[in-house]
Amino acid sequence: MRRMDIRSIEWKNDSIRIIDQTKLPAKLEYLDIKDIKTLWQAIKVLKVRGAPALGAAAALGVYLGIKDVRAPDFAGFNVQLGKVIDYLGSSRPTARNLFWGLERMRFVALKNKSRPIVAIKKLLFVEAQSIIEEDRVACRKIGEYGSRLIAKKDTILTVCNAGILATIDYGTALGVIYRAQEKGKDVKVYACETRPLLQGARLTVWELMKNGVDVTLNCDNMAATLMAQGKIDKVIAGADRIAANGDTANKIGTYSLAVLAQHHKIPFYIAAPASTFDLKIRTGKDIPIEQRKAEEVTELFFKDRMSHKDIKVFNPAFDVTPHNLITAIISDKGVIRPSYLKNIKKVIC
């Protein structure tokens, strides 16, 4: 089957074009974002989401935020640039790629501060496009490296959406699956629905079906039973931030799958590009975890009440999987195995 040709995010018509992921699977709708407030909001409510896609959104967002700035000199321009970067950085705290994208843009501006503002703007645009192109390539490399770990007829459990929609166009965890499929490995997938926002049920199922991958949906609390019944050969998840020791923040529920995989002696893999690693952070304890609104849990998309209106709700968006539960991390630089503290540096740097 020919791969679905969509891009989750790109620069088009002087604006950032994204797929509005809150509309899927009901409809594939694009949004042209023309200002950074709209972008900030789109990131906050997960119209655009997924760590690598957020790296691209951040970079394009910086360009969007400064392209019309008028400043007499670099100092003045840099103040505006700093404001844009700080503002976009305040949208969501966990995904490393968002900050990595912002930092790369800041670095390019500073490196070229002696050039005319108009030239700096052009270089920032080029940098954002590079980030996008690099992610495209990185996902294909992750897919290739990861696919070598997949056996013929493997059934793979995944969580949230680490696919086309979370990256530019191929995916990290799902990139591994796509590549294995391209190689004729005939893989099957179970997709955890991923409460509360159902990225698995809405997004992963949608893109895997579109690409002809055999996928079955399960509620998150059914994963253990699938494993106990011998239905799962491997678990592969994406990542939002990976600490120097391999501890990995990813969508809430990932840690649970890692514990369950260990109990059932099933390999548990993380798939992520180098841009998701945060080597300044020693362990998962230091990764900031976003807490989100109670209404995400008590109302389905803020519409249908599913619980008492005054109930207290525990709703972290992410959890941290300790490195000792991770069989290997599949990066675009190669497959990293324990000891992570040593091998992440060796492979990524």
Question: What 3-state class would DSSP assign to 343?
Answer: helix
Interacting residue with a copy of itself among 263, 293, 337, 345 (CB under 8 A):
263
Binding flag, residue 312, a copy of itself (CB under 8 A): yes
Kindly state the tokens that stand for 13: 């018509």
Provide the β-strand partners of residue 305. Answer: 299
Binding flag, residue 215, a copy of itself (CB under 8 A): yes
- Smallest gap, in angstroms, from Cβ of residue 76 to a copy of itself? 45
Tell me, yes or no, if 304 is annotated catalytic.
no
Q: Cβ closer to a copy of itself: 34 or 285?
A: 285
Interacting residue with a copy of itself among 13, 75, 314, 349 (CB under 8 A):
314
Q: Cβ closer to a copy of itself: 69 or 224?
A: 224
Binding flag, residue 311, a copy of itself (CB under 8 A): yes
For residues 229 and 151, what is the distance between their CA atoms, to the nearest angstrom?
Answer: 19
Interacting residue with a copy of itself among 174, 260, 270, 348 (CB under 8 A):
260
Q: Cβ closer to a copy of itself: 60 or 201?
A: 201
For residues 204 and 174, what is the distance between their CA atoms, to the nearest angstrom?
Answer: 8
Interacting residue with a copy of itself among 69, 279, 300, 341 (CB under 8 A):
300
Provide the β-strand partners of residue 135. Answer: none
Cβ-based neighbour number of residue 302 at 10 Å? 11
Q: Cβ closer to a copy of itself: 311 or 349?
A: 311
Q: Cβ closer to a copy of itself: 73 or 310?
A: 310
> Of the residues 169, 240, 247, 332, which is catalytic?
240
Kindly state the tokens that stand for 316: 């972290």
Binding flag, residue 295, a copy of itself (CB under 8 A): no
Q: Cβ closer to a copy of itself: 103 or 290?
A: 290
Question: What 3-state class would DSSP assign to 156?
Answer: strand
User: Where would I find the beta strands (DSSP E) of 1-136?
Assistant: 9-12, 15-19, 30-33
Element holding 134 (H helix, E strand): helix 117-147
Binding flag, residue 349, a copy of itself (CB under 8 A): no
Residue with tokens 């052009």: 122
Question: What 3-state class would DSSP assign to 181?
Answer: helix
* CA 211 to centroid of chain Cα atoms: 19
x/- map, 161-200, a copy of itself, by CB under 8 A: -----------------------------x-xxxxx-x--
Element holding 242 (H helix, E strand): strand 241-243
Q: Is the dihedral of CA 205, 210, 211, 216 positive or negative?
A: positive
Binding flag, residue 219, a copy of itself (CB under 8 A): yes
Kindly state the tokens that stand for 184: 């004729």
Kindly state the tokens that stand for 53: 């896609």
Instruction: Please report, as ranges, the residues that interact with a copy of itself according to CB under 8 A.
Output: 25-26, 159, 190, 192-196, 198, 201-202, 205-206, 209, 215-226, 228, 252-253, 255-256, 259-260, 262-263, 297-298, 300-301, 303-308, 310-316, 319
- Residues recognised as catalytic: 240
